Amino acid sequence: MSSKGRLSTLNENQLDLPVIDKDAGAGGDCFFFAIYEALSERERQLIDTLMDMYGPFRLNKHSFNLFFRNLIATKINANYRTPATDYLRELYSLITSAYENAVAICQDSGYNGPGYNQNKCIVDVIADELQQPHWLVKDYIKATRKDSQKKFIELVSASIRQPHKQVQELEYNLAKELLGIVGIDLQLVLTKGDGTYEKTMRQRPFSLPFSLPLENKSGQPIIYVIINSTTGHYSYFCFFLCSAGGARRTRRSQVTKRSRARRSQAKRSRARRSMTKRNRNK
């Protein structure tokens, strides 16, 4: 593989730094927002490496959200057998098995008052049972009109491209793969929102303050994305150094604002002097 788009892994020293749990935004895009903020609060090289490999995007989380969603969607092609399409074919079968049970539950619910929607009830039951986003179950229902796994895969790929679509295991695995190609290690941390965190189920939970390594044993930079298993919301671990960087950015912004204010005041003063001079010459 060409060296283009890969980070150097020559650094053999592992450095642990304190981390802070930071929110990156919500609205169904929190996973991609968290990845972007975790990348952007490290050295600029991480963002540049992504651009070298996958193409440019504007430096804000909303542009990155669309950019990375498209990258992931292109990895899901119904015409090819891949781990991603195999996962979706298996999921199609699981939803098919759950569908009849969901119909029975909704028919026996005893509620058919104003506003009752059986299709919505079915989607809610399946999404809750299989712990899948609602939009994915709706894509399944659309695909069954043609009784087609291929159609389901195509619909899921198209939906992933759209903002505000909550992610599932598939998007995380593909994001980890895409970042891994350029030498960035995406790691998932679990929390229940109770102030404790787990990197894996085999490790003991930890609470903040806590220090985590900047790099893995291969020297690749690590970014940590946190999922709240209770709410499904994603945030990220910002290293202590990013807070210092944030403070520097704030001070730099304040200096810039003061400089602009001084320039504006000087411009008004010159305009007043010029007007006074013209009045004297009349």
Q: Would you say residue 79 has pLDDT above 80?
A: yes
Instruction: Yes or no: say if 221 and 39 are a contact pair by the CB < 8 Å rule.
Output: no
pLDDT of residue 161: 96
Residue 219 within any structural domain of the chain:
no
Angle of CA points 66, 188, 85, to nearest 5°? 60
Residue matched to tokens 């200096």:
255
Q: How confident is the model at residue 124 (pLDDT cuts 50, 70, 90)?
A: very high
Q: Would you say residue 14 has pLDDT above 80?
A: no
Structural domain of residue 130, as residue ranges?
83-160
Q: Would you say residue 109 has pLDDT above 60?
A: yes
Residue 122 within any structural domain of the chain:
yes
Q: Residue 216 has which token pair?
A: 């893995």
Residue 109 within any structural domain of the chain:
yes
More confident: 221 or 273: 221
How large is the average pLDDT for residues 88-113?
85
Residue 88 within any structural domain of the chain:
yes
Q: Would you say residue 277 has pLDDT above 60?
A: no
Residue 180 within any structural domain of the chain:
no
How large is the average pLDDT for residues 136-157?
91
Residue 47 within any structural domain of the chain:
no
- Distance (Å, rounded) from C-alpha 118 to C-alpha 109? 10
Residue 273 within any structural domain of the chain:
no
Residue type at 173 in one-letter notation: N
Q: Give the chain's domain count.
A: 1
Q: How confident is the model at residue 16 (pLDDT cuts 50, 70, 90)?
A: confident
pLDDT of residue 188: 94
pLDDT in tens, 32-48: 999 999 998 887 888 99
Residue 178 within any structural domain of the chain:
no
Q: How confident is the model at residue 112 (pLDDT cuts 50, 70, 90)?
A: low
pLDDT of residue 114: 61
Q: How confident is the model at residue 194 (pLDDT cuts 50, 70, 90)?
A: confident
Stated pTM of the model = 0.77
